Amino acid sequence: MHLHKYEKIWLTFGIGSLVVFLLILGYGAFWKGTHPQSHGVTIDPNNIQAYEDFKPENLGLTKVDDNQYVVNLIASAFNYDFGKDDDGAPVKHIRIPAGSNVLFQVTTPDVVHGFNVAGTNVNMMVEPGYISQLETVLKKPGIYTIVCNEYCGVGHHMMYATLEVYE
């Protein structure tokens, strides 16, 4: 079988690209330890409050130990629910000391949402029936915007909150 010069070039380029792509995936998966998020923790989306971490009194920022925090929240209907403050108003701003180890736990009762802390490595897809978890260390002080980066409906642009990392 005879292959034209350009066919040989494109075949070589295609196979080479495939090999490079597989090497990059292998490096990320085995050497760096990155992997898709596990969906091991499930939750009934119709009864989120039955799960201890998502009861109204446990939402928001909780200090677990020195420099260790847990942030529990519910993403729903164009809103991030971090609980209520002492006056009963919804919390839209959380403060965490710089250098803290933070575990974000997010769930949703309705549709797929995103949870992205802009300017950090915190980025999760939040699906009904699952608890999305991501642990990170927030080192750089500043005020970060929390946005939904998965289109969830007409009020999607109103779904945001702020995270302040302070010294």
pLDDT for the residue numbered 43: 87
Cβ–Cβ < 8 Å for 97, 137: no
Residue 43 falls inside a structural domain: no
The answer on 100 and 65 residing in a single domain is yes
CATH of the domain at 119: 2.60.40.420
Residue 40 falls inside a structural domain: no
The answer on 140 and 89 residing in a single domain is yes
Query: What is the distance in angstroms between the CA of the first residue and the CA of the last residue of the chain?
Result: 69
**Res 70 pLDDT > 90:** yes
pLDDT for the residue numbered 38: 59
The answer on 106 and 157 residing in a single domain is yes
pTM of the model: 0.76
Q: What is the mean pLDDT of residues 54-69?
A: 92
Residue 135 falls inside a structural domain: yes
Average pLDDT, the chain: 90
pLDDT tens column, 103-141: 999 999 999 999 999 999 899 999 998 899 999 999 999
Residue 42 falls inside a structural domain: no
Q: Which residues pair with 51 in a beta bridge?
A: none
The answer on 54 and 26 residing in a single domain is no
The answer on 157 and 104 residing in a single domain is yes
Q: How confident is the model at residue 40 (pLDDT cuts 50, 70, 90)?
A: low
The answer on 107 and 86 residing in a single domain is yes
**Closest Cα to residue 54, out of 133, 141, 113, 156?**
133
The answer on 52 and 28 residing in a single domain is no
The answer on 157 and 97 residing in a single domain is yes
The answer on 92 and 18 residing in a single domain is no
Q: Which amino acid is present at 6?
A: Y
The answer on 148 and 100 residing in a single domain is yes
Residue 73 falls inside a structural domain: yes
Q: How confident is the model at residue 28 (pLDDT cuts 50, 70, 90)?
A: confident
pLDDT for the residue numbered 135: 92
The answer on 28 and 76 residing in a single domain is no
The answer on 56 and 127 residing in a single domain is yes
Cβ–Cβ < 8 Å for 102, 67: no
Residue 146 falls inside a structural domain: yes
- Domain hosting residue 5, numbered range: 1-35
